Amino acid sequence: MRAGLVDRAGRIIDIKVASTPPSPEAVLGGLVELLAEVLENSESPVEGIGIGAAGLVDVRAGVVRYAPNLSYRDVPIVDVVSRKFGVATTLDNDATCAGYAEFRIGSGQGAEDMIMVTLGTGIGGGFIFGGHLYRGSQGFAAEIGHMVIDPSGPRCGCGQVGCWERLASGTALGEMAREAAALPGGARILAAADGQLERVRGESVMRAADEGDPVAKNLIEELGRNVGVGLANLANILDPERFVVGGGLIRLGEALLAPARAELLEKIEGAGYRPEVEVVAAELGDDAGVIGAALMVSSAL
């Protein structure tokens, strides 16, 4: 969890980070504590609190309805926070917040139709169409990580199989890495995790690739290709001008984006008869969600 003091221009003045507690009740308690800490350090009165949370967020009610990778069910975040602090409070999906920040002050600037894709533990999304956020009828739009890419693929936290985030997220890279590390060719990936198979993560692949290991480089290319499959599906349905790709995996940079672009170009309908959809790296890093949530509440004031 991150809580930041942000000005109206989206500049972070102060930021505090805490690990996410396991139960929804503890998360709410921890969130209130973290907010109190940030508010205490503010030199001027805070005008509003914008919150981003993973999963299906009922924006109007201010409730997280469902988060597949966490145990959240119907958590009334806005009610609790606005009562406690007595200021305007908004809640939105975390990737939508990140997308809004990139659109306003990051690498989405100048695009009227952009899709934010956050590649982390799962895959999150945010839609900007015609220069405005698109949230769907309930606020549940852009759950792009649960687009089914492979109906015979691995089981997902949401209960389905073969979701995009099971094949193209940080978790997916970790699994691919453990499979590779168990084989003779994966020795350098295994070495990057101190020789312990159960400690192999996505980061082990990144480290081995940095040292020039061809097996690690292949895995990153495969992951990038899987990212591109989802981008092509989204492009065919929504015709965006630009994809802004963020989340922890974007540290891989062009090693990930180049194969994703190649796959997008291969899979998109009528590639030779349309302008190329831009695929760019996000600019605001891990703080994008915090900045976007703050910009959202400030625009609602």
Query: Could you list the residues that contact Zn ion (CB under 5 A)?
Result: 146, 156, 158, 160, 163
Least distance from C-beta 236 to Zn ion, angstroms? 20
Q: How is residue 144 written in tokens?
A: 């792009």
Both tokens of 51, joined, read: 């919150």
Complex with Zn ion: residue 167 or 290, whichever CB lies closer: 167
Residues recorded for the chain: 301
Write out the DSSP string of 96-163: HHHHHHHHHHSTTTT-SSEEEEEESSSEEEEEEETTEEE-TTTS----GGGSBS-TTS-B-TTS-BSB
Asked if 175 and 219 touch (Cβ cutoff 8 Å), the reply is no
Whose Cβ is closer to Zn ion: residue 100's or residue 164's? Answer: 164
Which residue, 166 or 225, has its beta carbon nearer to Zn ion? Answer: 166
Instruction: Provide, rounded to whole angstroms, the least separation between the CB of residue 114 and Zn ion.
Output: 23
Smallest gap from Cβ 154 to Zn ion, in A, equals 10
Beta carbons of 286 and 16 less than 8 angstroms apart: no
Q: Alpha-carbon distance 176 to 126, whole Å? A: 27
Residue closer to Zn ion, measured from CB, 126 or 186: 126
- Residue (145 or 186) nearer to Zn ion, CB: 145
Least distance in angstroms from the C-beta of 68 to Zn ion: 6
Find all residues with CB under 8 Å of 203, minimum gap 6, and list them: 192
Q: Are 125 and 282 in contact (CB under 8 A)?
A: no
Minimum gap (Å) between residue 140 Cβ and Zn ion:
13
Q: Please report how close the Cβ of residue 286 comes to Zn ion at its closest, in angstroms.
A: 23
Nearest approach in angstroms of CB 222 to Zn ion is: 20
The CA R_g of the chain, rounded to the nearest whole Å, is 20
Compare residues 146 and 201 and give the one whose CB is closer to Zn ion: 146
CA-CA distances (angstroms) from residue 292 to 90, 269, 287?
Answer: 11, 32, 9
3 vs 234, beta carbon nearer Zn ion: 234
